[in-house]
Amino acid sequence: MLININLIKMGNLRHISKNLLLCILVLVSSGILAQEARLSRAQQLLKSKAPGAIEAAASAIDSVIIDPQTKNDFVAWTTRAFVYFELYKTSDRFKLNSGFRDTIIKSILTSNRLQPDSGYLVQNNRLMINLSKSYFNLSKTLLQDSVNEARSSIAYGRYKSLYLLVEPKMDFTADDIKYYTAVGSQYSAIFIKDNNDVKAQEIAKVALLKVLELQPDNTSANINMGLMYYNQAVNLSKSLDYGADFSQIDIVQENMVKLAKQAEQFIHKVYTNDNKNLKAVEALYYIYRMLNETVKSDDFKKKGEELGIKFSDQPADKQPADKEK
């Protein structure tokens, strides 16, 4: 009798467990289905151009990627990257720091970690390159429009970092030359305009030396370096008080000569590579004049005039004042 009762109890228990298991399965399946439906909804909203669709897509996809059932689905993460890309395009494209951009990058990286199929991998990488290039454009804007080298340099660094995530063997030499030449030109022009702007001079020097390290014969970098040294010498000359005595004049001359010789090294390299470079010929005339090398300055004056340069004794930013005499 007792055995029978136990058997009956065991049968009931088995029945209950079976039902429980079924319930769990149904619940899990419905959960997965619900997340898949959300993912699909997010994808549809992404394609939609209706107002508020992208915001709704973001909300939907955010819940998909935190759900344990779908958090490891690369499709969800790639979809999220594209949803946030739409948001980023509308408001954050020109921002150096953007939460949307960070979300896109994190989503792409997560998707790639989940070993997506080739189609998704290509999409992920394209999007990453797109973001990388937008950093490059931003670095140019921050440099040229905002004249903010610090922020521009951050953007440029990020451009390279993102690109390397997609193409780890990417060679940035050509980009580095282009970028640092732009920085050097921009800031050397600022320094030449205002010789007291030591910060601009330092930024320009660092950038131009980077260019010359990569490409020693780079014309623009050599010219700008030379002009900066030359202008420093001009500035020294201008700083002399009319009441300065001979010993003070001598010290200033000593420093001017050092600077002019440094300028000569850079400019002469350009002239050696291209003896018709107008800027080099013109600058060498003034440099040799500053160095009191009359034969050479006369020679460059003649060459310059043959090339159509009109030399002037009028003081200009690039010319020395005959203050010592």
| Residues within the interface to another protein (CB under 8 A) | 240, 242-246, 249-250, 253-254, 257, 260-261, 291-294, 312-315, 319, 321-325
**C-alpha–C-alpha distance, residues 46 and 49, integer Å:** 8
CB 321 to another protein: min, Å: 6
CB 169 to another protein: min, Å: 49
Cβ count near 306 (within 10 Å): 10
Of the CA atoms within 13 Å of residue 143, those in its CB half-sphere come to 26
CB 292 to another protein: min, Å: 3
Which lies closer to another protein via its Cβ, residue 109 or residue 244? 244
CB 261 to another protein: min, Å: 8
**C-alpha–C-alpha distance, residues 311 and 212, integer Å:** 29
Beta-strand runs (E) in 177-303? none
Which lies closer to another protein via its Cβ, residue 74 or residue 286? 286
CB 239 to another protein: min, Å: 12
Which lies closer to another protein via its Cβ, residue 151 or residue 323? 323
**Are the C-beta atoms of 215 and 221 separated by less than 8 Å?**
yes
**C-alpha–C-alpha distance, residues 186 and 154, integer Å:** 17
Which lies closer to another protein via its Cβ, residue 176 or residue 282? 282
**C-alpha–C-alpha distance, residues 104 and 108, integer Å:** 6
**Are the C-beta atoms of 222 and 270 separated by less than 8 Å?**
yes
- At residue 71, what is the residue type? K
**C-alpha–C-alpha distance, residues 128 and 77, integer Å:** 13
CB 300 to another protein: min, Å: 16
Which lies closer to another protein via its Cβ, residue 104 or residue 284? 284
Which lies closer to another protein via its Cβ, residue 49 or residue 242? 242
